[in-house]
């Protein structure tokens, strides 16, 4: 067991909760430091401040004061258990007592020490209890609120006849019974400054992005031919996601009539400036020059990055946010996409939207109609997988543990459940994939090697420990080597069939953190690393990688945005706080044809019953303070 670091400056309740593992040393240090700067000594205020710091570290934007007793022990993935202390037995303060202290605290109101107000208290409203923010995150959330509200008060000018004709051209093939939500999404983007396109894996999000851009491009050319072509920016939170977005749009460009477009990370889009006082080149005083900005994988974008983007947008720039709100959110604080999809919407009636949608063809629920008026649509028709995998994903997303367990118990060609010691099936898949990868790599078949690499993937919740990537990656590597799919005798660092994971970006070399590839032998006997880039592999010398590791297993977080034929998911014990519904859903939806869950039913039920608690005020209708 790893010992808990105890803050030397912590006293009283702060120290007790630190020693119990509820607060970290860093949480305590920040609270004590702010207290000294603001001349605040009240124990309740300092305790609430430390919890607010912990909330940020845990991915929340603020602390829900009424739910502070639900905060558990901070379990490190390197430990099987924490301190053994039941958090419910700790001396939690009374909520009313904390609120009274906060309302008069100089950390909230300012004081004799100066105008410093590092905390913001937002009192209870109809949609929830009081929230305590660190001021920085409160201000970032307010930027989003203000920009969204301002952008919702007007609508772009649309030539309905031209837009309808283009919709008919781009969505000529019916998708089946019911409303074509992809067409609805395109109509939304034409008639709103801000559009949110939500959808699970395989629902056609990138297909829809290409057609949205084709619609807007054609509308500009035909409705206002004297204006220059649209300036379009494609962006994503990571280099890997940006590369995939660029490939997906370019593959459809000729079909729908788009120019060649380049995607970048959000950091590159905003112009990251290392060591400068102004963090990004583009901000509220130097706006982005684009007419259309599309952000893919928006669920992975933090509140901080989203606030920078919103501040840098011109009022007349169309913004299209695309992603799956049910997947794992950003590693940093905030779950902006999920908040936008679930929260209140600012609506201003737009006759142009109604004119572009055939009323008999809509077939949308009253809630969907309301969300449409706010520029939000959810794609629902999945194409990546169906059958039992889709049923399992739906059960997990809905929180129906009984249905999920029943589906896994039944087994079959698409889903299976194995105990932690039942490794025969996963070993067979690891060996089969490794052999296929090696055979193709030795023959110089880069396409075949990359295809085989995606035939199976081991996914883990933890990095370390008996259920972690380190353990299973080593085990799978041993299985592969024993089957003859490992390093050749006397081989150096690199060998044909070696599976690779890139862990750093090199934009010049077109290599991105999260890329996977394989070492392939060339006709002249030299070795190259093949990385998937659209329909053709991208070959680079292995030494060009900024940072790379051999990979047989990876974390579920790293797998986001990827697809594999078969996925084997290693679940930790039920007590693991990393085990959540969003994590299990993300892992399941990486698979095209088969999902194997390795773990007990208790872990499955624990995962489905434990949601990522990311507190924020963005999903509430709150006035600005």
Residues contributing to the annotated binding site for ATP: 199-206
Report how far residue 32's alpha carbon sits from residue 47's, in angstroms, rounded to the nearest whole number: 9
**Contacting residues for 320 by C-beta, under 8 A, at least 6 apart:** 189, 195, 197, 209, 212, 292, 293, 294, 295
Annotated binding site: 199-206
**Distance, CA of 8 to chain centre:** 36
Instruction: Report the phi/psi class of residue 187: left, alpha or beta, with left for phi > 0 and alpha for psi in -120 to 50.
Output: alpha
Whether 503 contacts 549, CB under 8 Å: yes
Sheet holding 119-122, edge to edge: 63-64, 131-134, 119-122
Report how far residue 218's alpha carbon sits from residue 256's, in angstroms, rounded to the nearest whole number: 10
What is the CB neighbour count within 10 angstroms for residue 85?
A: 15
Report how far residue 440's alpha carbon sits from residue 520's, in angstroms, rounded to the nearest whole number: 8
Strands (E), 275-340: 292-295, 318-323
Greatest Cα pair distance, the chain, in angstroms, is: 76
Q: What angle do CA 291, 297, 301 make, to 5 degrees?
A: 85
Whether 289 contacts 178, CB under 8 Å: no
Report how far residue 40's alpha carbon sits from residue 113's, in angstroms, rounded to the nearest whole number: 10
Whether 270 contacts 308, CB under 8 Å: yes
Report how far residue 203's alpha carbon sits from residue 196's, in angstroms, rounded to the nearest whole number: 14
The string of DSSP codes covering 143-206 is: HHHHHHHHHHS------HHHHHHHHHHHT-S--SSS--HHHHHHHHHHH-SEEEEEE-TTS-HH
Report how far residue 219's alpha carbon sits from residue 292's, in angstroms, rounded to the nearest whole number: 13
Report how far residue 595's alpha carbon sits from residue 388's, in angstroms, rounded to the nearest whole number: 9
How crowded is the C-beta side of 501, counted as CA atoms within 13 Å?
16
Angle between helices 25-38 and 12-20 in degrees, nearest 10? 160
């Amino acid at each position: 067991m790893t010992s808990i670091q105890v803050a030397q400056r912590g006293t009283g309740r702060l120290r007790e909760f630190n020693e119990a593992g509820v607060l970290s040393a860093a949480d305590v240090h920040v609270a004590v430091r702010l207290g000294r700067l603001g001349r605040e000594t009240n124990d309740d205020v300092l305790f609430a401040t430390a919890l607010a710091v912990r909330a940020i570290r845990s991915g929340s934007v603020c602390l829900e004061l009424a739910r502070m007793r639900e905060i558990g022990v901070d379990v490190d993935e390197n430990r099987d258990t924490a301190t053994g202390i039941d958090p419910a037995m700790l001396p939690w303060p009374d909520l009313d007592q904390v609120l009274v202290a906060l309302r008069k605290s100089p950390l909230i109101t300012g004081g004799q020490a100066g105008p410093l107000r590092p905390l913001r208290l937002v009192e209870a409203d109809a949609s929830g209890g009081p929230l305590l923010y660190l001021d920085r995150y409160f201000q970032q959330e307010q930027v989003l609120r203000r920009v969204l509200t301002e952008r919702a008060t007007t609508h772009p000018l649309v030539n309905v006849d031209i837009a309808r004709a283009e919709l008919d051209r781009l969505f000529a093939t019916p998708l089946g019974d019911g409303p074509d939500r992809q067409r609805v999404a395109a109509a939304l983007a034409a008639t709103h400054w801000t559009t949110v396109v939500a959808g699970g894996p395989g629902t056609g999000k990138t297909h829809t992005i290409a057609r949205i851009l084709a619609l807007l491009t054609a509308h500009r050319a035909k409705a206002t031919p004297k204006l220059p072509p649209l300036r379009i920016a494609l962006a994503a939170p990571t280099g890997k996601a940006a590369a995939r977005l660029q490939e997906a749009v370019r593959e459809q460009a000729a079909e729908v009539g788009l120019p060649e477009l380049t995607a970048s990370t959000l950091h590159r889009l905003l112009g990251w400036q290392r060591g400068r006082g102004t963090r990004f080149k583009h901000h509220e005083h130097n706006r982005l020059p684009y007419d259309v900005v599309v952000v893919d994988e928006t669920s992975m974008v933090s509140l901080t990055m989203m606030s920078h983007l919103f501040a840098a947008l011109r009022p007349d720039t169309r913004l299209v946010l695309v992603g799956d709100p049910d997947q794992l959110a950003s590693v940093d604080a905030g779950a902006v996409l999920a908040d936008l999809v679930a929260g209140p919407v600012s609506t201003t009636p737009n006759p142009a939207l109604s004119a572009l949608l055939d009323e008999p063809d809509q077939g949308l629920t009253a809630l969907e109609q309301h969300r449409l008026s706010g520029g939000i649509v959810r794609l629902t028709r999945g194409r990546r997988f169906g059958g039992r995998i889709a049923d399992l994903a739906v059960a997990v997303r809905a929180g129906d543990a009984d249905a999920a367990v029943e589906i896994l118990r039944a087994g079959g060609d698409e889903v299976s459940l194995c105990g932690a010691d039942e490794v025969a099936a996963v070993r067979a898949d690891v060996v089969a994939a490794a052999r296929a990868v090696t055979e193709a790599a030795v023959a110089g078949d880069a396409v075949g090697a990359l295809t085989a690499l995606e035939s199976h993937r081991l996914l883990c919740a933890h990095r370390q420990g008996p259920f972690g990537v380190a353990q299973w990656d080593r085990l799978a590597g041993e299985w592969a080597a024993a089957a003859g799919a490992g390093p050749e005798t006397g081989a150096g660092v690199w060998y044909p069939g070696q599976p690779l994971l890139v862990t750093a970006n090199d934009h010049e070399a077109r290599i991105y953190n999260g890329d996977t590839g394989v070492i392939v032998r060339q006709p002249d006997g030299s070795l190259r690393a093949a990385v998937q880039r659209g329909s053709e592999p991208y070959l680079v010398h292995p030494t060009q990688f900024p940072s790379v590791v051999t990979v047989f297993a990876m974390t579920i977080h790293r797998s986001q945005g990827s697809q594999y034929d078969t996925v084997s998911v290693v679940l930790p014990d039920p007590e693991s706080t990393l085990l959540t519904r969003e994590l299990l859903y993300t892992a399941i939806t990486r698979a095209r044809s088969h999902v194997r869950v390795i773990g007990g039913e208790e872990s499955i039920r624990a995962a489905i019953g434990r949601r990522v608690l990311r507190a924020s005020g963005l999903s509430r209708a709150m006035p600005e303070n």
